[in-house]
Structures are given as structure tokens and as C-alpha cells.
Structure 1
């Protein structure tokens, strides 16, 4: 892994930042993206000299084009990507608005789709792409209809991409986290009390006896990005501490 270059979208907090920290400790060069300069700078302060950050809104194709240009200008080629940028807005099916639908799908699926497409010329042969989805794809949770659809769509294209991109040496695999202690709950609009109840429930019911942390996920993403996962294609690793057993 030493000196390899990996892009992490949505790398300023939570799972993305934990993966960036872990990969940099493996002597990798890490590129992270965030939607605003302040959060990007805060994240970079937690990383070392092998980290680079770019402000980029994955929901906008022009921003993805600019990101590709910036990465190519500095690194020419990359060895893999962790497609991690995503949002969750809690809303019942009946109360879901068009704006919530569009924002969720634009970031979680459309942005991921076109980030992969536009970075293909920069991906080395061989290289690895890891998609961050969720256990919501196979376990139903109330108030997650659009989020679930966006993550299911992302998993849905993984198999196709593995077939189409195989001649270029690009492989795609998936991590499917369970409820993880990260800023995504706060950003979703959930109250502090609701977040506390959620984390308490999964801490008490998980066979591991605690909530999943972003640092639990980072080594698994690193494995999927590394040459050790070369034989894996379209595999999904469920990282939920056993809550869906």
C-alpha cells in the first residue's frame, strides 16, 4: 500500500475521515473531498503531509469534472477510490418532499455514478473501487425510504461495473455498515434524544456489545482497496457488529 494514491469522497468526518487516517498510517497518499472549506481544513488538520483535500460537491457534475482535473494535475493517476459521500434525511414516506428526494439521490447515487465514470481514465490497472452502502438495503427501517432506494441503486450497479470495467483492471466491492456512531445522525435532522435512543438500542442489542465505530470500518475498506482483495468482485462485507444476524 505504500505510496499508493486513494480518493475518499466525503472524507471530512465519520467513516470517510477514519478511513483517511487509517490509510495514511499505511503510508498511502490520501485525497479527501468535502463540501465546504472549513470542514475540509478541520479534517486536514487531523491528517499528515500525505493528505490532500479538495472542496467538491458530488451532486454537481461540474464539480466532479473540476475534481478530476485537480487530482490529475497533482497525481496523474490513482490506485483506487472509496465512494463514501452521502447524506441521510429522516422522513416518512408520506412526508418525503421532492427536494429531499432529489438531494438524497443526487448525492448518494447520481454523484457516485458519475464520480466513478469520470475517474475511469485516472484509475490505474489494476485498481479498486469500494462503495459505501448500508444495511438498510436488506433490513427495513422506518423513515428511510429515499435513503434506502439510493443505497440499493448503488449496490445495483456494482455487478454491472465489475463486468464492464474488468478489462481495465478495475474491481468493485461494497461495505455495508450498520448503525455507526458518526455525524450522519445529527445531520439527518434527528434530535439528540432520538440519536441517544438509537445508539443505546444498537449498543444493547449488538452481539459485540457496543455501537459500531468508524474506526471499525477503516481496516476493512483498506483491505478492499489493497491488492489482498484482488480476487474479490461484487462482494459485500456487512459491518454491523452482528445486529442483523
Structure 2
């Protein structure tokens, strides 16, 4: 399959879960891909799995020095890119009265500050007519218990995407967001869960999602790539990939 032959993409947070599924589809389609992750073990696994087919860079999205190094690496390895996918993120489930300054700062640094400055650094490398896709969350609106800080970071991300879409219109760069619900990934989208807690989280997703199941990482990847390459008259939009959860659908009696 050569659907993405000649395309170049940078996937920020691409070593596992939804990011890895997006990378796999890009590579299968013939794209040239640079991906990042913070965990050296995950980076090593990616290099072992994909070899020279992918450029894997250990990079912390919350570190402005790492973002500068990332920009240089993208320019050196890929030149200009057709897609920048910002997928790196962290969720720490805490009641609002248990939130610490450290957990607050950590989530905003990764989900919001890092995303902003990564786009600022890499935007000049996106070719005119290219695309940016953010990964947000069904929790970016409404009220979900234990997600006060996380929800705020993702709501900010959607706002960033809207403004970036307006500011990049003169270059024809489209900026859109995917908003996943419960997705069956190794971490279930939340930091620090035990195996039992992840199983409970998955069961909760099956119960509360109108389609009565968790989504797959590949379903999110397909939505990302639709926005990136097929939705050529769409910018500033948010696409829900949540089995109807965010739409408050009810099951027929």
C-alpha cells in the first residue's frame, strides 16, 4: 500500500497506544516518519521493530531544550513535513481536593505548554497545505470526576487548535483535533494505574459508552489520518472518536 508514499510526518508521542497505531498506518502507507517518546525502553523497541523505516527520537515534550533539538532533528531527517501530530499527553486521576502543585504543573507542562511550543517550533517546517492534528479527549468539555486538571489541559488544547487554524490559514495549513473516549491502550490513558485498576477502567468504558465497548487505537489512528490527509476542506474542527459518549446518546429502550 502506497497511499502515503512521499508524505513526511512527525508524530509526537508515537511509541505506544494511539500514537504507535498512527505511526504504523503511516509506515504501511509508505510515509517517512519521525516519532518521539520519553521512555528509552520504548524508543529501543521501536527501533528494533521498525529499523530504518522510522526515525525514533527520545524527547520530552515538556522540555523546551528537547523541543529545540526535535526541531533540528525534523529539519535534518525530513526537511519539510506534511503532518505534525501532537499526541503526547498524561492524565493523573485525582479529586480536585487531592491535586498537588506538582501534578497540576506536570499535566499542564506536558499536555498544554509542550504542545504549544512544539507547534511554534515545528510550524515553519510544515509545508504549505500541510496539516496539524492534536489528540484531545472526550474530557475536554463537560464534567468528569477526578479529571479537573486533565480536562482543563485538553480544553486549552482545543482552544490552541482553533487559533492556530486561524493563524495558519494564509499557508493553507489545516489544524484539527481528535477527541477520543475510552480507548483500549496499554495505559488506558491514565498514569499510575495498577492492572486491576486498568481492568476496572476498561469495564467502566464498556458500561458507559453508548456503543458498549472501548475503542481501539487503530480507530483513533484512522480518524487522525482522515483529518490529516482526506478532510481537505476541514480546519479548526474537533472529531469525536468516543463511541457516542460525548454526544450523550441514550440506548433505545
- Residue number among 49, 55, 66 corresponding to 1:52 in the alignment: 55
- Residue number among 209, 219, 223 corresponding to 1:220 in the alignment: 223
- Residue number among 9, 15, 18 corresponding to 1:6 in the alignment: 9
- Residue number among 102, 107, 118 corresponding to 1:115 in the alignment: 118
Shift of 1:43: 2.4
RMSD: 1.5
Matched, 1:95 2:98: yes
Look up the match of 1:34. 37
Look up the match of 1:237. 239
Question: Aligned partners of 2:189 and 2:150: how far apart in 1?
Answer: 15
Question: Aligned partners of 2:127 and 2:68: how far apart in 1?
Answer: 18
Give runs of aligned pairs for residues 1-245 of structure 1, distance below 5 A.
Answer: 1-47=4-50, 49-185=52-188, 188-226=191-229, 228-244=230-246, 245=249
**1:131–1:24 Cα change, 3 Å:** same
Question: Aligned partners of 1:44 and 1:58: how far apart in 2?
Answer: 20
Greater displacement, 7-16 / 37-46:
37-46
Question: Aligned partners of 2:87 and 2:120: how far apart in 1?
Answer: 15
Shift of 1:153: 0.4
Q: Deviations over 1:120-172 (max 9, x none)?
A: 11110111000100000123211111110100000012111111111122110
Question: Aligned partners of 1:28 and 1:114: how far apart in 2?
Answer: 25
More relative contact order in 1 or in 2 (CA 8 Å, sep 6+)? 1
Shift of 1:31: 1.1
Provide structure 1 residue ranges, at least 5 long, that are not aligned to the other structure: none
Shift of 1:184: 3.2
Shift of 1:46: 3.3
How many pairs were matched up?
244
Question: Aligned partners of 2:190 and 2:225: how far apart in 1?
Answer: 26
Question: Aligned partners of 1:174 and 1:44: how far apart in 2?
Answer: 28
**1:208–1:47 Cα change, 3 Å:** farther
Question: Aligned partners of 1:36 and 1:148: how far apart in 2?
Answer: 24
TM-score with structure 1 length normalisation? Answer: 0.94
Shift of 1:62: 0.7
TM-score with structure 2 length normalisation? Answer: 0.91
Provide structure 2 residue ranges, at least 5 long, that are not aligned to the other structure: none
**1:91–1:49 Cα change, 3 Å:** same
